[in-house]
Amino acid sequence: MTVNKIVSKTTTSKVTTPRAAVNKPAIDADVANTTVSTPEADAASSVEGFDLNSHDYYINRELSHLQFNYRVLRQTVDENHPLLNRMMFCCIFSSNMDEFFEIRVAGLKHQIKYGRETVGPDGLTPDQVLEKIDTITHAFVDEQYRVLNEELIPALQRENIRFLRRREWSDKQTEWVANYFEKEILPVINPIGLDPSHPFPRLVNKSLNFIVELEGKDAFGRETGMGIVPAPRSLPRMVRLPDEICDGGDNLVFLSSIIHNHTDSLFPGMVVKGCYQFRLTRNADLVLAHDDMEDLASALRGELLSRRFGDAVRLEVADNCPEELVSFLLKEFGLSERELYRVRGPVNLTRLMNLGAVINRNDLVYPSFTPGIPKTLNSKQDIFEAVRQKDILLLHPYQSFTPVVDLLRQAAKDPSVAAIKQTLYRSGADSEIVVALVDAARRGKEVTVVIELRARFDEAENLELASRLQEAGVVVVYGVVGYKTHAKMILIVRREEGGFKRYVHLGTGNYHAGNARLYTDYSFMTCDEALTKDVHKIFQQLTGMGKALKIKKLYHAPFTLHSKMMELIEREATNAEEGKTAYILIKVNSLTDPKIMKALLKASQAGVKIELVIRGICCLRPGIPGVSENITVRSVIGRFLEHTRVYYFENDGNPEVYGASADWMVRNLVHRVETCFPIEDKKLSLRVKNELETYLKDNCQSWLLQSDGGYTQIQPEEGEERICVQQTLLETLSAV
């Protein structure tokens, strides 16, 4: 189905607001229509007693996930982004879709294969969801390659950045490419002719490959007619040609073009009738059997070896590949036409993410900036003294992540520090955080690190990290089997006058300095006695064994966080019913928990105004008369990845503000170790509210979720001031 056909079948009402005009992007409205009919009419007739379990009030999780990916894709045509950043969004979309197939589609197929189908609040079965995914993803991929070929590549050419096709190579360029192939590719490439003694090779997940149509007999008299050429994964997917053989600008050739041009030399004496790119996506989810597992690290190492060769879930091929070869590949991988994606260009766009580094065009990317540092830290080298004076709140990337690193560096060198405890989910084995922890251990301090090995696609790096820390004398534990440790905590125990004093850092993100320049997250540092004691108790639970300890200020999953959120939502509903002020403002990455959603619907019916800023998946339909008419949901997509988790509850004029590591998903609230911390300092809590309200004013990067499940992008009206929340925060908090 073409994009235009999808659009023509879609009708959605436009939203009007006092400050913004709304633009409905073309392709996405049909994506989340997960029910046969729109629920407004039915809902309006059941205001008094509606069924909270009705499928009409919820959106399918996977289809909402696809909506987020499409919002990312739309950034490729937004000329407010610099050109290379638009290209980056095209690559990010590919990366997101890869993971969607590797995990989400693979999971649905697994349910069907083993007869374990589950149905969510939206009522769709796995088969129904896969059917919708088929239509949507094919349209999205077609749109992606249309944008790449008709908008991005021509725009790059206007900037003298050219991807040269083989027919465009000059004689000098052809000679240079031939030498490059001879020296850099031929020694590591491994062509495979298919015959009874050379069966179809087991291809690695997401690797670039070529299927080659051959004619003639080889030296042994074999006449198979077909070969496979896996592209070496160690080689760059783009090669920049030397300036001296070009006419100016940046001139690049794809690795696929170089291999394609020299396929004859890989099968000497044979006639190459055709050579076509293809790429296979496999199930990449890890399944660990907890019952018979003795060592998590050893079990994980074993599973990582099998991830590269999981069940096939998607086949991408060049759009000019002959039908008989496509049919051969589909049969070989056990896939149907539904899982086939014909593409007009490179099949591995994710590998083009380093384009900016290859060509070094700073004029075509966002300008660099210097993250800000609060005055309380700027004027004091002693971070412990600064934290003793007042709680410190940082908003990355607008404010620097360096104080968090400096906290650990100072703790490592401070002779008064006796112990350091930290959770690590994603950090990198060579990060400054890890260097500080290693230094502390070597100086004789008691250092304990809880590493979550099962951070998806970072498992191998986390295993390496664990080994490095253990070699330095750090006590490393892997949390609790069956519950991912997703909490972001640092605890430092320091000997001071009067005894030991605790200092903590709590975050909404992770301890990866690189991500802290790209992800929006809060960092909170305090020495509050009750709060730091709570963190100490959570570490005790993670490293030891015993009953859940009583905790005063923190709320943590899987024990108290979910019930506390329910309690706070219900309190706002009660306040509204009693005529008191009631308001909920939440910023998370995803909302899928059925109980939380039902509580929000009840609060909406009670008259509570609920504003949700949800970057990705949202399974709750807002704006249904009599049901969710008091709920608005917006998603912000921009230069930085929105990642903060913040909860604001009005509480009849005595607002409560929380930062958290947890999204409002079942996996976070029930199956993970998460923390939620109060921000009690009135200046800091007011600051958080003001920053959240800036998101509600954004009229450039915000998308409003409609009751039909589609999103509309808010745009400023003619003559209206443009308000971009990320730019506003950048100007307010960074040192620029």
Taking 50 as the threshold, does the pLDDT of residue 546 lie above it?
A: yes
Scan for tokens 């986390």, then name that residue: 462
- Least confident among 184-188, 283-287, 502-506: 283-287
Return the biggest CA–CA distance within the chain.
90
Q: How confident is the model at residue 25 (pLDDT cuts 50, 70, 90)?
A: very low
Give the three-class secondary structure for 394. Answer: strand
Q: Report pLDDT for 455.
A: 54
Whether 671 is catalytic? no
CA–CA distance from 487 to each of 375, 402, 535 (Å)? 28, 20, 10
CB 418 within 8 A of CB 493: yes
Distance CA 161, CA 83 (A): 11
Percent of the chain past pLDDT 70, that is, above it, reads 86
pLDDT in tens, 300-311: 455 545 545 578
- Other CB atoms within 10 A of residue 151 CB: 15
CB 656 within 8 A of CB 649: yes
pLDDT in tens, 633-658: 999 999 999 999 999 999 999 999 99
- Least confident among 23-32, 399-408, 488-497, 586-595: 23-32
CA–CA distance from 159 to each of 85, 168, 334, 361 (Å)? 14, 18, 44, 10
Distance CA 379, CA 124 (A): 57
pLDDT in tens, 369-404: 999 999 888 766 799 999 999 999 999 999 999 999
Distance CA 317, CA 337 (A): 12
Give the three-class secondary structure for 720. Answer: coil
Question: What's the DSSP call for residue 426?
Answer: S
- Which pair of structure tokens corresponds to residue 316? 């991408």
pLDDT (average), residues 125-152: 96
Q: How confident is the model at residue 116 (pLDDT cuts 50, 70, 90)?
A: confident
Closest to 256 (Cα-Cα) out of 170, 351, 356: 351
pLDDT (average), residues 566-573: 98
Q: How confident is the model at residue 5 (pLDDT cuts 50, 70, 90)?
A: very low
pLDDT in tens, 576-629: 999 999 999 999 999 999 999 999 999 999 999 999 999 999 999 999 999 999
Segment holding 193, helix H or strand E:
strand 192-193
Q: How confident is the model at residue 275 (pLDDT cuts 50, 70, 90)?
A: very high
Distance CA 210, CA 228 (A): 6
13 or 266: which leads in pLDDT: 266
Burial 348-378 (b: 16+ CB within 10 A, else e): bbbbbbebbebbebeebbeeeeebbbbebbe
Q: Report pLDDT for 115.
A: 82
* Strand residues in 27-96 grouped as ranges (E): none
Taking 50 as the threshold, does the pLDDT of residue 218 lie above it?
A: yes
CB 126 within 8 A of CB 112: yes
pLDDT in tens, 697-724: 999 999 999 999 999 999 998 889 999 9
Q: Report pLDDT for 562.
A: 97
Distance CA 604, CA 596 (A): 12
Taking 90 as the threshold, does the pLDDT of residue 127 lie above it?
A: yes
CATH superfamily of 160-360: Polyphosphate kinase middle domain (3.30.1840.10)
β-bridge pairing 646-649 and 656-660: antiparallel
Assigned CATH for 557-733: 3.30.870.10
- Other CB atoms within 10 A of residue 120 CB: 19
CA angle, corner 726, sides to 725 and 730, nearest 5?
115
Q: How confident is the model at residue 161 (pLDDT cuts 50, 70, 90)?
A: very high
CA angle, corner 577, sides to 573 and 578, nearest 5?
115
pLDDT in tens, 286-296: 554 444 444 55
Give the count of alpha carbons within 13 A of 143, CB side only. 27
Q: Is 304 left (phi over 0), alpha (psi -120 to 50) or beta?
A: alpha
CB 509 within 8 A of CB 379: no
- Other CB atoms within 10 A of residue 164 CB: 17
Q: How confident is the model at residue 88 (pLDDT cuts 50, 70, 90)?
A: very high
Distance CA 29, CA 22 (A): 14
Question: According to CATH, where is 3.30.1840.10 located in the chain?
Answer: 160-360
Question: What's the DSSP call for residue 244?
Answer: G
Taking 70 as the threshold, does the pLDDT of residue 33 lie above it?
A: no
Q: Report pLDDT for 6.
A: 33
Average pLDDT, the chain: 87
Measured in degrees and rounded to the nearest 5, phi and psi for residue 53 equal -90, 0
- Which pair of structure tokens corresponds to residue 547? 């009953």
- Which pair of structure tokens corresponds to residue 445? 């301090």
Distance CA 34, CA 576 (A): 32
Q: How confident is the model at residue 223 (pLDDT cuts 50, 70, 90)?
A: low
Question: According to CATH, where is 3.30.870.10 located in the chain?
Answer: 375-551, 557-733
CB 633 within 8 A of CB 620: yes
Q: Report pLDDT for 222.
A: 62
Identify the CATH assignment for 375-551 out of 1.20.120.420, 3.40.50.300, 3.90.400.10, 3.30.870.10: 3.30.870.10
- Other CB atoms within 10 A of residue 594 CB: 15
Helical ranges in 162-270 per DSSP H: 171-180, 255-261, 263-266
pLDDT in tens, 416-464: 999 999 998 877 667 899 999 999 999 999 999 998 766 555 566 767 7
Taking 50 as the threshold, does the pLDDT of residue 473 lie above it?
A: yes
295 or 315: which leads in pLDDT: 315
Catalytic one among 81, 138, 396, 486?
486
